[in-house]
Amino acid sequence: MVKKHCLSLLIYVSFSFLSFSQLINLPSAHFSGLVNATVAYNDVWSAVNNPGALAQLKQPVLGMSCLNNYFLPQLQHQLGAIALPTKKGTVGIVHQQYGNQNFRLSSSGLAFAMQLNPKFHAGIQINYDQYNQGSFYGRAGFVTAQVGIFAQLSSHTSFGASVSNLGQSTLKSSDKDYLNTTIRVGIQVQVNKALRCFAQAEQEFYKGFDLKGALEYTVHERITFRTGVGFLSEQLGFGVGYQIKQFRFDLSSQYINKLGLAPALSMRYEFKTGAKS
């Protein structure tokens, strides 16, 4: 009985923590291995942290990911995203859910990104978030917004920035319970064909400031190793990816001090069609 109550308390605390993070903002396995220091990375997973980067994609991409916090089935997170380039811009669709039947958070988002010029892109994403936290907060649904920009500074360096939860939405049960607003600014440097480096500054209004750094090293064009660190949040990430034709499979884990491991697995598929004009 004591164990059951302790587990329920952990779930509630985890959900309360997440509900101040725009509702859910957990990365895919690919980005998890880089401690999500990826605001300057362009991929289908950019729908989570920088919709502006979606405009860089030339082909439709589908991604699915599952993350398990601290090996507890009650704290599982599922993520699905798709990016559809068009003549006017790129449309992104993302859905996330976290928890079980007793405590569940979900978020569905629609993004649109476009090229303002060949080297500068911007995007906006509208999310409909829902939570069910039983007797603690009950049920509610609300709308949040996120904006992002992506710039190709040179052939080897890109810049990204995003702001989530514009307007600081609140939980309907209390005007004082603000959802977290997160500001991210970062760069990506392609050192050579094999090595990429990432640096990111991140400010979460209710969690504080963090500096992150990450590396991605590709071996023989098929296998990629990743690692990253959150210097102030005491967060460590590591992972590996395997590319086979149009598929990429990623396995990673984050280690968060005092909490433990959060392993993740994701799959990405890039459709082969005509290039976006």
Burial class (CB within 10 angstroms; exposed 0-12, middle 13-18, buried 19+) of 211: middle
* Six token digits for residue 55: 């405009």
Output the tens digit of pLDDT for each of the chain's 277 residues. Answer: 444 444 444 444 444 444 444 445 568 999 999 999 999 999 999 999 999 999 999 999 999 999 887 667 667 889 999 999 999 999 999 999 887 766 778 899 999 999 999 999 999 999 998 877 666 656 778 888 999 999 999 999 999 999 998 766 555 555 555 677 899 999 999 999 999 999 999 998 777 899 999 999 999 889 999 999 999 988 999 999 999 999 999 999 988 877 778 899 999 999 987 544 4
DSSP letter at 2?
H
CA distance 13 to 9: 6
8 SS3 class: helix
Q: What is the pTM of this model?
A: 0.83
* Six token digits for residue 203: 């400010």
267 SS3 class: strand
Q: Domain spanning 2-270: which CATH class is it, in words?
A: mainly beta
Ranges of each domain in the chain? 2-270
CA distance 228 to 215: 6
CA distance 190 to 152: 12
